[in-house]
Amino acid sequence: MLALVGLAAVVSVVVPNDPWHDFFDLRVYRGAVASWLEGRPLYDYTYGRSPYGFTYPPFAALLVAPMALLPAAAVATGHTLLNVAVLTGLTWWLVTPLARRHGWPLPFAWLAAVPVLFVLEPVRETIGYGQVNLLLAALVLADVAALRRGSRWAGVGTGLAAAVKLTPGLFVVYLLLTGRRRAAGVATATAAAATLLAFAVAPATSWRFWTQTLWQTERVGRLDKTSNQSLLGGLARLTDPADPPRLVWLLAAVVVLVAVVARAVRAGRAGDDLAGVALTGLAACLVSPISWSHHFVWLVPALVVLVDVAAGTPAAPGRWQARARVAAGTLAAVTAVALASSAIWFAEADPGHHHDLGVAGLLVEDLWLLLTLVVVVALPVRAGRAATRRTAPSPPAGSSPR
């Protein structure tokens, strides 16, 4: 706890923008569903004088509707406690197998990892804005654990995540291409059932979302904002003040999507699902028109894979075999420092001014995008079935698959 408080204090001083954000997005969600429950259209709401309103599918609005019945302070407190609990649980799940393999003492390895992961911008901003990224990642990773147990319910978490926010739907493709047809079917059925439930409860709102609101990308924010670290965001800053050429973006997005998903599928088929889902999540971040900096929580499992290889876990045969440990450790350290320092905000710029600091400024402003491109190219796949055993704790002795 002292380490967490200390790191939070350092971040508050070092990070050039507000590192906590006063639960802005959570306020948007709460205000939108409160307005909706009072009889006004869900997607007409905007928070205060800002242009921001509710952008998720109606099923997500049903899930957060109870927020409207509680005081804002209670909602913020509950959200923070829930996300801290999810972060600590995910950290335990990710770190425990590494600690056991490499002889690191538990629970000290876990206690050291929690504050480090907390100060990474995607994690910190998810909590500070009141976002859902950690919860969605937990749902997808729960399916990774369920697949290892042979559970018939594997896919439910991914389906729910896709029903709350569309981009996790790419994980259904990952499940299908890695041969988990049943899990892909369960995920698809779960997402469809959740969406149909929203149609049954709020047919007009659902119809409007799927036929109109979904396609209105301008509702989300400016493409060129520093926090938009997608391929289209980087292209928008590169061509500033002109609009980015959509055909160029589309071609780049298709190439990146195919290449990164192919790498993810190879990782999954080789037994390294943690690398597979990390690559799939990062592919979604890259090709989505808008991916805010807090969406890049999938760099966390990628960092775990890098640290595991740096500590001595062998990479699969290929480009990483010769200097895998040094390369993985270097990439992990550079990525962690860049994310913890919120480096992109040192070059933040308004429309028409993205080139004021020259090439160096543009490179810093696009740092999440550039690092993610390096990670999806260089992330090692750990060798053989051992990767599966090391990524999550084994079931208790005597337990049987479900």
Residue 353, pLDDT above cutoff 50: yes
Which of 234, 257, 229, 259 has the alpha carbon at shortest distance from 245? 234
206-241: pLDDT as tens digits:
999 999 988 876 677 789 999 999 999 999 999 999
Give the pLDDT score at 188: 98
Give the pLDDT score at 397: 41
Confidence of residue 21 (pLDDT cuts 50, 70, 90): confident
Nearest-angstrom CA–CA distance, 54 and 68 = 14
Question: In the predicted model, what is the mean pLDDT of the chain?
Answer: 90
Q: Using CA of residue 346, residue 352, residue 358, residue 363, what is the dihedral sign?
A: positive
Amino acid letter, residue 45 = Y
pLDDT higher for 237 or 18? 237
| 336, containing H or E segment | helix 324-341
Question: Could you give the C-alpha distances from 103 to 96, 99, 106, 107, 360, in angstroms and in order?
Answer: 10, 6, 9, 12, 42
155: left (phi over 0), alpha (psi -120 to 50) or beta: left
Tell me the DSSP string of 159-176. HHHHHHSSGGGHHHHHHH
306-347: pLDDT as tens digits:
999 999 898 877 655 557 888 999 999 999 999 998 999 999
182-211: pLDDT as tens digits:
999 999 999 999 999 999 999 999 999 999
Residue 4, pLDDT above cutoff 60: no
Give the pLDDT score at 22: 87
Question: Could you give the C-alpha distances from 78 to 13, 24, 47, 67, 294, in angstroms and in order?
Answer: 26, 15, 21, 10, 19
Give the pLDDT score at 316: 78
Give the pLDDT score at 394: 40
Residue 385, pLDDT above cutoff 80: no
- Average pLDDT of the residues in 38-53: 92
Confidence of residue 3 (pLDDT cuts 50, 70, 90): low
Give the pLDDT score at 322: 57
User: Both ends of the chain: CA-CA distance in Å?
Assistant: 37
Can you read off the two tokens belonging to residue 186? Answer: 């369960």
Give the pLDDT score at 384: 60
**Is residue 331 within 8 Å of residue 304, measured between CB atoms?**
no
Give the pLDDT score at 99: 96
